[in-house]
Every structure is written in C-alpha cells, then in structure tokens.
A and B are shown apart, each in its own frame.
Chain A
C-alpha cells in the first residue's frame, strides 16, 4: 500500500514539475510586465530599473532555477535576497510577488481563494439540489410531457453560454428588479452569501442540467430493476421506493461528478466572476493576463494544477486502499 502511495506521489510531483515548466516558459513569453506596469508614459530608465528589481534582467535559466527555489534568488524585492545564496522559490513556499499589487502571490491567492470557494460551493449546492430534484421527478414521470419539457429545458440550460445568462440575470434581477445586490462581494458574511446567489445560480444552470440528466438515467434504470418492482409490489409507497432504492443507487455517479468539479471550486469561474465583479481567483487570473502580471498567472495555474493533482492522488490512494485490484492494475 505504502509503495503504491509513494509511486503515485512521485508521479504527481513529476506532473507538477512539468506543469510548472510549461507555465514558466509560456509566461516568460507573454510580454514585458514592467512595460505593462509603468503604462504609456514609461521612460527607458524606469523600465530598466523595474527589470532589475524583479530579476527580469537575469538569464531565463537563472530565473527558472530561482523560481523553483533551486538556485539563488534574483528578485531584489524579496526579503531573502542577499545577492548570493538566499533562495526565494517554490521550494521555500514563495511564489514571487505580484507586479500589479505589491503583494506576495501566495498572499493574494489566499485572499481570493475563500471567495471563489464560497461561490463554487454555493453553485455546487444549487446544482445538486436542482439537478437531483429535477432528475428524480423527470424519471418518475418518464416520457410524460413533464419529463420531455424538463429535459428540453435542461438542454437549453446546457446550451446557454454563461456570459449571456449572467449578463441578463445581472441586468434584470439585480438592476431592474433590485432583488439582489448589483455585483460585488459585500462586507459581512451574510452579504457575501446574498451577493453570491445570482452568480452561483448563473454557474449552476449548466451544472444542474448535467446532474439532472445523470440522475434521470440512473433512476430510470433502477426503477426498472426487479428488486424495485418487488418492493413496489410489496406495497412500499412511491416516495419510499425512490428514496430507498433509486436515490441511493444514483448517489455514486453524482458524488463522482462532484469530485470532478472540485477543481472548479479553486480555479474560480472566470466569466461569471468577471460579469458579477466577484473578487475571486477567476477574476484575478483574467486581470493578471490583461495586466501581464506574470507571477500571479503562474501562481494561479500552479495552485489549480496542484489542487487537481492532490485531489486525484487522494482519490487514487483511497480507492487503492479500499480495493486491492486497483493496485494490481496500476502495477
């Protein structure tokens, strides 16, 4: 078991290293962050000074080594910079400093993360509730007008791009009708939740439709099974049958799907967050790309990849522990 976990961990670290390398090379080509930071009135001396401060005047290999934390630090603004041995890289838990916000990347991401997670969690809650509810009803009323209508609506839901539905929701429900705050994040926990309802719902439309489809097909299959017929014949009420047999069977795919969606929780929803001015990771990412804030872009991508890798690792190890066959397969 331990061997399996170690192998799996080694593999995950390799993927992380590959991801970091790819992203580093990508971002180093993205354009001069100093020019972006200094704006239209930039003078040559200003740009050169900025390069020196962030270590962009160093060769790319030195920057890469320093970013990983394997060779000496090249960022003069880092507290660990001493012109020699001091390291300031990923291995030291340092993802650099934002070019745009004068803050540590880790700090920035940690401020934004809980906000995206709140939005993601609420969206997922809506999705599961709506999806499961619709799915069960559609399955029990299979091939009736209700089923067809609901599933057709679900399909329209999948097909609506978030930027369209989000814009319209914001405009009608927040601005015209005034039921919700117009975008933003609010100041108190209650306000955070209140402000998250519309964006979470926007996000949930697509997901809910997926859950509904899965729930429906699982339920349909289960309800046909012999033991359910028997249960019915024994006089078990329809609600009891659904709850006892149907819902339980459909739980597995639903939970799997939720697991897959976990990454969305941390990566934030770029478009929805942009439309609703939600100050989460997604908006941070897209703004950093606009501002060419290289350290933040790298930080976000690495954070997301890490979470995905870590999640997969945990899942694999858990499954491996429960089911020895998997371990054999992996060998």
Chain B
C-alpha cells in the first residue's frame, strides 16, 4: 500500500538533498582552522612566577622511578621531579648540578670523587647526603630492581659480585663523609661521568625508597623543581606537578603547576594546541607539521633541531652480496637521501657518517662520507664484479639477476614506506629486494643473530652524548655476540676496534677527538651501513611560554621555562583546564564574520 502523493515519491530525494545541504553547510561555513596562536604573551621581559603549564605525550606514563624508566615519556616527568649529580648545559657540556664542582679524577683515571652541594632538601623531607647517593646506586644496580640502566655502570669495581649476591655492598663505591662519595672503576672510562648524569643515577632518599609501606611505583620523592602528590596522578589521563617551594636552585622554578596529559594522540594534541588548550606540542602528523612549519604567525614559536640519532641501511658484512665492500659502497651511494627527505616532508636531515652533528668527532667534511651519486654507485657495482646494464625498463646487475634480498624493516607505516623507497632506489643498481616487515621484538631478535638478516633499516638513539655511545655500540667487534648483537651488520675491523678501545679511556680531549675522526673515516670507507639521516624534531609552544630552549640531551625538558600570561588566559585557566571555544557563532555563515 504505497502512498502515491508526489511528496512521498520524491521524499527520499528530498531527504538526501537536505542531508547533503547540512553536510555542505558544515564543510563550507564552519569557521576555518585557526591560523595563528589564540593568545599572545603579555610582554614581560623579566621571568615571572606563577601560572600553569600544560604539556602532553601520546603514550601512557610508565613510572617516575628513575631506576626503572628508560623512555622519553617517563623521563619528561623525571626531569621535573629529580636532579642529577651532573647535568648538561646548552652546548652539551657536563656541568655540576647537585655537586659543588665537577668531580675530581685520579691520575690513573680510575677514581672519581664527588662533593655534594650543601642544603639540598628532598620533597619528602631530609637533606641529600652521600649515603643517599650510595643507596641510589645500590638500589638501581641491585638484583631486585632489575634496572635496565646497569649496563652503563658495569665498570664500577665490584658491581658484578654485588649483582650476583656475593657481596652486600658495591666495593667500588665509598662514602668518605656526609657530603663526599668516591667511585672506583675497573678500567679508566671517559663515559663514566655521562653515565652518572643519566636519570638512572639521580639521587633518591633512602628514607622513602627503602620504606616497605611506600609504593615506589606511583610515588616520587626527589630534589627536583616540582613535586608530585600521588593523588594528583590519574593514570592514563594526567599527572599534576606542583612547584617545589624549597628548591635549592632558587628562583627556579617559575611555574606554579605543570600538568602532564598522557595518552593524547598527536592529531588530538595538535588540534588542542591550536585551540589554545595545550601549551606545547612535539609530535605531528605530516599535515600538522606542514601547517606549523609554514604558518607565518607560528614561526617565532617553533624550533626544529636534529635529534641525536642516526638512521641508515645496514648491510650484513658476513652475508653475500654484502660481504663485498664495493657492493656496500654502491648501496651507500645509490640511496636517494633527498627523495626520502621530501617524502618525509623534509623532516629528516641527510647525513653520510656515523656520528650525529655536534658530537665530538663529527666532521662536516669527513673524508669519504657517503652522498648520493648514481654513477659512482654503478662504478662500484662494476668493481664488485656485478656490472649493471639496462634490460628493458629495469636495471640488472650481472651475477645477481636471480638474487632476491630480504630487506627488514620495523613495523608501522613509516617503516613500510622506507622499505618501499629503498626498493625503488636499489633497483637502480640491479639489486632486487623484498620487504620483510616484522614486529619490533622479532626485528631485534633476528637481526641480533649472525647470518640471519642480510639488509635492514636500522637506527640508534643516543643514551648519552658521547661518540662511544654510537661507535662502540654499533661498530665495535665487542658488540657482536651470538644473540642480541647491537652490531647488527657484524662489522669487524681490528684497526677500528683498537682506535675505539683507546679513545674510550683517553683523557686528553684533542687526542680523543682525533681518534674518533680516524675511526669514522675507516667506517665510512668500509660502509657497513649506508649512512642516511638524523631525524629532525620540531617543537612548538604558545607565545606566552618563555625561556624554553629545547635541550640537546633531554627531550621536552620543560623545567626552567616561565609563563608570560595575558590576563584573559589566566582567567581561562582558572580552576579547570578544558576550555572549548563554545563558538556558537560557528552556526552563522563564515563564522559570523560577515
């Protein structure tokens, strides 16, 4: 019994039209995306006290226990709650923090003496003493904590016995008096002070962390500029840090309160930031990156700097055809760094050597550094005995016509896209590769075993700013083992090993730097990796966030900034933190701006 009225017959069309009209209305007449910061600074020139700073991370905070944390997310909070004995300045030099002066080093380079600063109070009461430092080290290195950090301190005398439970204390650490503590090493090691500046060694009060009634996983007691009340940490949502009124390094900190929002996806974070509800952002989708990088109004409030990391195509030097140095060089010269950079929206900085820019031993004009040169790549293939010739629309390398090489990449869209780009590049010298994308643990496990993975996309992030952390870990023969090798290309050159081993203990900086330059030259010539790029990190903050300088060592280290808040902004922040714009004017065409 269908209705025959005209309206009923054409009704569905009408309804569809109406729906389309509504959608079109929203799409075209909704207010445009904000192009400029919503709030400006008030214009103060001197640092101001007060205000709330809101920042975020896309994942979930794991812990604020410095002995356990080993990720960017936790370290962002730990840097607010704790101080190290040593810290880095803006030039990546080690400077004293909780110690009065840089530690003294004995003649043989094996003993370091630290003298603690006077009058440093812990959040939960009590003054910092040498015993707390001893406790911190023994707790972190103890078998019950299973801190991932202990590899950096294995050189302290007696650590192995202590970990095995054969001794009650670490022999090499000695409390001289209340404020003096001494560390003895098995071997001289110039990276030891870097290790002592890592968050693993941030001093903790014995009274709090040894107390069995305290849940150290959710509480934090340090000496840092901010304090955390466990009730203010709503897991998976946010942690609220309050100003430490007794901070030893007055007048710092400037900000009254820091809100660390967890679990915000990058799209959501950037939208919030552009709406003025978030004070700093640091990870972007390509679209957001392109916007912020180019919007004129945002230019004074963004910073882009190379990250201390390294990426490249690793070639297993024990597996054919990469056991031939010429094939490896050919790959190093054929990968099109500029094209990769463009695909990543220019978010990577091409390089041709193992050390990131700014590291001791990095040379802008390093001899033999890799660059992209197709002709040279083909020459190297000829030298390798695989001359390349054209066959129809593709290139063929003689002797490798039927060889398909597995190229291992980590998971995720990016890994896959790198794989696809490498595939296109290597085809230019007749190398046929198939992409093998596996989960991250599988990738680590398999590529850590000899003779398994011929070709891989590989990278390294800095643990501490010292060339040893790159060259020793990635290219020293000592990093090769039957399983979990960090030297995933199984590169072994006795001359390089000797240089690296000597450089690690060399106390004279100039001599040390010369050795690292020499090692770099040898490594690029052997080309175990096609060295490709360091990532660029962009950060953006609101105009009223002042005194923030991205640290070369710690990601998003917000501890010293201050807020130059305009009055309206202060009101908006009062009490609660979400201030949707309620722009009902959005109902009007052109946002009511007609």
- Report the nearest A residue to B442, measured CB to CB: A31
B431 shortest CB reach to chain A, Å: 26
Q: How far is the CA of A68 from the CA of B460 in the complex (A)?
A: 39
Report whether A176 and B30 are in contact in the complex, using a CB–CB cutoff of 8 Å: yes
Cβ contacts under 8 Å, A76 to chain B: 144, 146
Nearest B-chain residue to A186, judged by Cβ: B578
Task: Type the 1/0 row for A138-182, where 1 means its CB is closer than 8 Å to any CB of B.
Answer: 000001111011101100000000000000001110111111111
Instruction: With both chains docked as a complex, state the minimum distance between the C-beta of B362 and any C-beta of chain A, in angstroms.
Output: 20
Q: Which residues does A use to contact B, with CB under 8 Å?
A: 31-36, 38-47, 49-50, 52-53, 76, 100-103, 108, 111-112, 143-146, 148-150, 152-153, 170-172, 174-188, 191, 194-195, 274-277, 279, 283-284, 287, 292
Q: Which residue of B lies closest to A177 (CB)?
A: B586
Closest 6 CB pairs of A and B: A145-B11, A149-B15, A178-B581, A44-B484, A183-B268, A35-B441
Tell me whether A149 and B14 are in contact in the complex, defined as CB-CB below 8 angstroms, given that A103-B218, A283-B263 are known contacts: yes
State whether A102 touches B151 (Cβ < 8 A). Answer: no
Nearest CB of A to B234, in Å = 8
B1 A143 Cβ-Cβ under 8 A = yes
- 14 of the cross-chain contacts (CB-CB < 8 Å) are A32-B445, A33-B441, A35-B445, A50-B146, A101-B60, A103-B235, A146-B11, A172-B26, A177-B30, A179-B582, A182-B580, A185-B237, A187-B576, A195-B578
Given A42-B484, A152-B12, A184-B264, answer yes or no on A177-B236 (Cβ-Cβ < 8 Å): no
Q: How far is the CB of B200 from chain A (nearest CB, A)?
A: 12
Residue contact B217 to A102, C-beta cutoff 8 Å = yes
Cα distance A108–B236 in the bound complex, in angstroms: 9
Whether A178 lies near B3 (C-beta < 8 A) is no
Cβ–Cβ < 8 Å partners of B62 in chain A: 100-102
How far does the Cβ of B27 sit from chain A's closest Cβ, in whole Å? Answer: 8
Q: Which residues of B contact A40 (CB under 8 A)?
A: 444, 459-461
Judged by a CB distance under 8 angstroms, whether B463 is at the interface is yes
Q: Smallest CB-CB separation from B11: which chain A residue? A: A145
In the assembled complex, how far is the CB of residue A124 from the closest CB belonging to chain B, in whole angstroms?
23
Residues of A within 8 A of B217 (CB): 102-103
Closest to B438 in A: A31
Q: Which residue in chain A gives the minimum CB-CB distance to B217?
A: A102
Q: Is B277 positioned at the interface, with any CB of A under 8 Å from its CB?
A: yes
- Chain B residues 1-46 with CB under 8 Å of chain A are 1-3, 5, 7-12, 14-16, 19, 26-27, 30-33
CB distance from B508 to the nearest CB of A (A): 29
- Contact check, B445 vs A287: say whether CB atoms are below 8 A apart: no
Residues in B neighbouring A112, C-beta threshold 8 A: 236
CB nearest to A291 among chain B residues: B59
Interface assignment of B165: CB less than 8 Å from any CB of chain A: no
B68 within 8 A of A: yes
Least CB distance from A193 to B in Å reads 12
Taken residue by residue from 65 to 98, chain B's Cβ proximity to chain A (1 for < 8 Å, 0 otherwise) reads as 1001011000000000000000000000000000
Nearest CB of chain B from residue A156's CB, rounded to whole Å: 8
**Residue among A36, A178, A292 making CB contact with B583, cutoff 8 Å:** A178
With A39-B71, A279-B263: A175-B578 Cβ-Cβ less than 8 Å: no
Is the CB–CB distance between A101 and B235 below 8 Å? yes
A111 to B, closest residue via Cβ: B235
Q: Please, which residues of chain B bring their CB within 8 A of the CB of A185?
A: 237
CB contacts (< 8 Å) of B105 on chain A: these are: none
Q: Are B461 and A41 in contact (CB under 8 A)?
A: yes
Which A residues are CB-close (under 8 A) to B14?
A: 145, 149
Bound Cα distance A143, B1 (Å):
8
Residues of A within 8 A of B179 (CB): none
Q: Note all chain A residues with C-beta closer than 8 A to B211.
A: none
Cβ of B11 and Cβ of A180 under 8 Å apart? no
A183-B272 in contact (CB<8A):
yes
19 further A-B contacts with Cβ under 8 Å, apart from A41-B460, A149-B11, are A35-B444, A42-B444, A100-B62, A102-B65, A144-B8, A145-B12, A145-B14, A174-B271, A175-B271, A176-B30, A177-B586, A178-B275, A178-B580, A181-B580, A182-B272, A182-B277, A187-B577, A275-B265, A283-B263
List of B residues within 8 angstroms of A152 by Cβ: 12, 15-16
Shortest Cβ distance from A39 into chain B, in angstroms?
Answer: 7
With A102-B62, A178-B582 as known contacts, state yes or no: A41 contacts B235, CB within 8 Å.
no
- Residue in chain A with minimal CB distance to B72: A39
Q: A53-B146, A182-B277 are in contact. Are A143 and B265 (CB under 8 A)?
A: no
Q: In the complex, A49→B142 CA distance in Å? A: 11
Within the complex, which residue of A34, A143, A148, A182 is in contact with B275, where a contact is CB–CB below 8 Å? A182
A31 touches B275 (CB 8 A): no
Given A32-B445, A41-B463, A102-B62, A191 contacting B578 (CB threshold 8 A): yes
Q: Does B486 contact A (CB under 8 A)?
A: yes
Contact (A277, B265) CB under 8 Å given A31-B441, A149-B11, A183-B272: yes
Docked-complex contact B63 and A102, CB < 8 angstroms: yes
B271 & A182 in contact (Cβ 8 Å cutoff): yes
Q: How far is the CA of A174 from the CA of B218 in the complex (A)?
A: 33
Chain B residues 234-254 with CB under 8 Å of chain A are 234-238
A50 to B65, CA, bound (A): 16
Q: Is the CB of B151 within 8 A of A174?
A: no
CB distance from A13 to the nearest CB of B (A): 31
A47 CB to nearest B CB, Å:
6
Residue pair A145, B32 in contact (C-beta under 8 Å): no
Chain B residues within an 8 Å CB radius of A149: 11-12, 14-16
The distance in angstroms between the C-alpha atoms of A279 and B235, with both chains bound, is: 9
Cβ-defined contact, B70 with A174, below 8 A: no
In the complex, the answer to whether A38 meets B31 with C-beta atoms within 8 Å is: no
Residues on A with C-beta less than 8 A from B5 are 144
Across the interface, name the chain B residue whose C-beta is closest to A171: B271
Complex Cα distance, B235 from A287, in Å, reads 14
Residue from B7, B33, B59, B481 in contact with A175 in the complex, judged by beta carbons closer than 8 Å: B33
B483 lies within 8 A of chain A by Cβ: yes
Q: Does B566 contact A (CB under 8 A)?
A: no
B213 in the interface (beta carbon within 8 A):
no
Inter-chain contact B151/A46, CB cutoff 8 Å: yes
Across-interface contacts of B445 in A (CB, < 8 A): 32, 35
A169 to B52, CA, bound (A): 29
Q: Which of B2, B71, B586 contacts A176 (CB 8 A)?
A: B586
In the complex the two chains form, is A38's CB within 8 Å of B148's CB?
yes
Q: How far is the CB of A56 from chain B (nearest CB, A)?
A: 12
Cβ–Cβ < 8 Å partners of B111 in chain A: none
B144 proximity list for chain A (CB < 8 A) = 76
B11 close to A284 (CB less than 8 A)? no
User: Does A43 contact B263, Cβ atoms closer than 8 Å?
Assistant: no
**A176 nearest CB across to chain B (Å):** 4
Is there contact, CB below 8 Å, between A274 and B265?
yes
Contact of B439 with A by CB under 8 A: yes
Question: How far is B70's CA from A43's CA once the two chains are assembled, in angstroms?
Answer: 12
B11 touches A153 (CB 8 A): no
In the complex, chain A residues whose CB is within 8 Å of the CB of B473: 41
Q: With the chains together, A171 CA to B11 CA distance in Å? A: 31
Q: With a CB–CB cut-off of 8 A, which chain B residues contact A108?
A: 235-236
Min distance, Cβ A163 to any Cβ of chain B, angstroms: 12
Measured between beta carbons, the chain A residues less than 8 angstroms from B68 are 102
Contact flags B504-529 to A (C-beta < 8 A → 1, else 0): 00000000000000000000000000
Nearest chain-A residue to B30 (Cβ)?
Answer: A176
Inter-chain contact B268/A184, CB cutoff 8 Å:
yes
Taking CB as reference atom, which chain A residue is nearest B18? A149
Q: Are B146 and A49 in contact (CB under 8 A)?
A: yes
Question: Which residues on the B side are within 8 Å of A111 (C-beta)?
Answer: 234-236
* Contact B148 A50, beta carbon cutoff 8 Å: yes
Task: State how many angstroms separate the Cβ of A10 from the closest Cβ of chain B.
Answer: 37
Residues from chain A with a CB closer than 8 A to the CB of B554 are none
Residue among A32, A44, A143 with most chain B CB within 10 A: A44
Instruction: Chain A residues near B236: list those with CB within 8 A.
Output: 108, 111-112, 279, 284
* Known contacts A38-B148, A178-B582, A187-B578; is-contact A31 B439 (Cβ 8 Å): yes
Chain B positions within 8 Å of A144 at CB level: 3, 5, 8, 11
B440 CB within 8 Å of chain A: yes
Within 8 Å by CB of A39, from B63, B70, B261, B268, lies B70
Residues of B within 8 A of A186 (CB): 576, 578
